[in-house]
Amino acid sequence: MSKFAKYLPLLLSLPIALTAIHSTAQQAVTLAQLTGNNTSAPSASGVMPNGNAAAGNVSNVSLKKLLPPNFNGRVLAHWMPWWKCTEFPCEGSHDKRGPIRVHYSSEDSGQLDRTIRDMIRRGYDGVVVSEANTTGPDAEGALAMAREVTKFPNFVFAVFENHLNKLKPRDQPGKLMSDMAYDERHFFGLPNYLRINGHPVVYIFDNGDINWVSAEQQAPENPIFILNGPHHASGSVGGFFWFGGLEHNAKISSGDELDKLHSFYSDVGGNQGHLFSGAFFKGFDDRLAPWGLGRRVDQACGLTFVRSLAAVAKYLSRSSSNFLLLQGATWNDYEEGTELETGIDNCGSVGANVSGTEVRPVPSFAKPGSEETVDHYEVYLSVDGKHLMDAASIPVRGEPFDMAALKLTPGAYLVLVQMVGKSHILNQISTPVQLTIGGVSTPGRLPANLVPAQTSEPSSAPVDDETPADDATPPASAAAPAHAPTSSPTISVTSPEEGGQVSNPVALSITTNEPFTVTRIQIWDHGKKVLDQLNSTSISGVSIPMTPGPHTLTINIKDESMATRDSTHVSFQVQ
């Protein structure tokens, strides 16, 4: 049996915490909420010359949607622990020589809580901490993250070992053993430290000149070392992908770097006895780093990101998987222009075209942007331009939506279309366009069957607390889901079981057999929409985090007119 093969059964059995779309709204969402910053990055994080976008309204779509169903691994966010507060208000700097200010501290518990929640919302299963070495300047940030992740039992934690190659070869083994002893004292004992077959996983960024087979045997708890690249140490379990071979002032196209990624996966396919960790990324630009060399990998308006994730599907479609780890490179390395935290600009905009009662999205992109970065379009209705209700979803290149299906009362309405990006892509929204029903110019009334629009958690967007006019939105009771029957012959819920005791996150397994076309399955919990699935008759492989205690899920099945045609509910206890 190969070294990797003995780990495979256990890895396949690890619970994967997939993330559903959350909602905090029970009334109409505001335009400010749909356009404001919903990331863990402070709103003060603006556009940077190296391609980092300003903190904005990032898609709620999970990155798991961009991964193939046969990917059974963990997705980790590569996180930097070095942002410090040395002034008030916190400027969040790494090196005073550099111009970067992220306006938060990597050691602040509140910020770390927002960070982890944002990672979970986007589909990550854990975090891997860069430069988590013993007593270095970044130690406190790594320790703070280690403390915070224990509050999220299904969110794993791992560390990177860095800078071994800065030492003389004879000093490297001793430093590695010292660092592993430190990791054992501070990290390996965490209940959610990333382990394979009982052994802690440690990424090695700078491989150094070390006998890794011997090192695995000598280090505390016999860690599994994953080295930089597939070939650097034949005795290691395997390797991970990273930006490699970027020369001084190198300008690398998106396609060239993706070719390197595909080459890495080809190497993975030829080494089935080893464990490998893939990667996805938006680009690279180190011009703002104090150590920068003018190196750049083009973001290509978000195409680099979505295609780096698509490479996983391409590889798994033709080969069995022997990489069960995947890392986003990186969550918050603002200096090298790789951060994903603030979102990715797809160079797109969208307009709303209204013809009669039909609404069609009109997207446009600066080159090389394209609809490849778009998940779908969401259509909103309003009567005051501030408070919006979710009217319909339109697939990319789908047919226009006929508002007549909503049976609106005669009057004047405003229509807005949101371009909902794929995971990590910044959403775009149109300017309002008037829709007149029945030739009447007075404000209309939104029907009660329109659902509250989905919003994101956490959100730092300004909230418009102005109470809408009586004719602007239905009351909260009308917007919330109606109580459903206790059972439905056309809806089968096998998980969670009625009256059962379930663990957190709650796994969902729901199928429908409706005599009409199902366009949406919406799930509500305590008056909040926790899942909104488009164009599918079943839900599987999804788990939703829920607080301990009693819960009743309402499951609404909608047809092409957005009307709820079937419904049921299930009650259970979360342990």
The CATH number of the domain holding residue 172 is 3.20.20.80
Specify whether 178 is located in the same domain as 267: yes
Same-domain pairing of 81 and 184: yes
Q: In sequence order, what are the residues at sequence separation of 6 or more whose Cβ sits closer than 8 angstroms to the Cβ of residue 63? A: 75, 122, 123, 124, 280, 309, 328, 423, 424
Same domain, yes or no: 521 and 546: yes
Alpha carbon distance 319, 267 (integer Å): 12
Q: Each residue's pLDDT tens digit in the chain (575 positions)?
A: 444 444 443 333 333 332 222 222 234 788 999 999 999 999 988 899 999 999 999 998 999 889 887 788 899 999 999 999 877 788 899 987 788 999 999 999 999 999 999 999 999 999 999 988 767 778 999 999 999 999 998 899 999 998 898 899 999 999 999 999 999 999 999 999 999 889 999 999 988 888 888 999 999 999 999 998 876 545 557 789 998 778 888 888 889 999 999 988 888 777 777 788 999 999 999 999 988 999 999 999 999 999 999 998 888 776 666 678 999 999 999 999 999 999 999 999 999 999 999 999 999 999 999 999 999 999 999 998 888 999 999 999 999 999 998 889 999 999 999 999 999 999 999 999 999 999 888 888 887 767 666 543 333 333 232 222 222 222 222 233 333 333 477 899 999 998 899 999 999 999 999 888 888 898 887 656 788 888 789 998 888 888 888 888 889 888 776 667 888 888 899 98
pTM, to two decimals = 0.78
216 close to 223: Cβ distance less than 8 angstroms? yes
CATH number at residue 527: 2.60.40.10
Same domain for 145 and 281, yes or no, is yes
pLDDT at 453: 60
Do 117 and 247 belong to one domain? yes
Looking at residue 361, its pLDDT comes to 98
Q: Which domain holds residue 182?
A: 69-328
Q: Is residue 60 part of a domain?
A: no
DSSP strand pairing (199-204 vs 296-297): unpaired
Cβ-proximal residues to 391 (8 Å cutoff; 6+ apart), any chain: 379, 380, 381, 401, 403, 406, 415, 450, 562
C-alpha separations of 8 from 11, 394, 469 in Å: 5, 40, 59
User: Are 155 and 188 contained in the same domain?
Assistant: yes
What is the helix (H) or strand (E) element at residue 509, kind and residue range? Answer: strand 506-512
Q: Which amino acid is at 191?
A: P
Residues 103 and 230 in one domain: yes
- Distance between CA atoms of 260 and 230, rounded to whole angstroms? 12
Domain count, the chain: 3
Predicted pLDDT at 16: 31
Q: For residue 301, which phi and psi values (nearest 5 degrees)?
A: 55, 40
Residue 52 falls inside a structural domain: no
In this prediction, residue 71 carries a pLDDT of: 84
DSSP-derived 3-state class of residue 261: helix
pLDDT at residue 233 in the model: 47
Position 9 in a domain: no
pLDDT score for 530 = 84
> What pLDDT was estimated at residue 152?
94
If asked whether residues 227 and 180 sit together in one domain, one would say yes
CA distance 293 to 95: 16
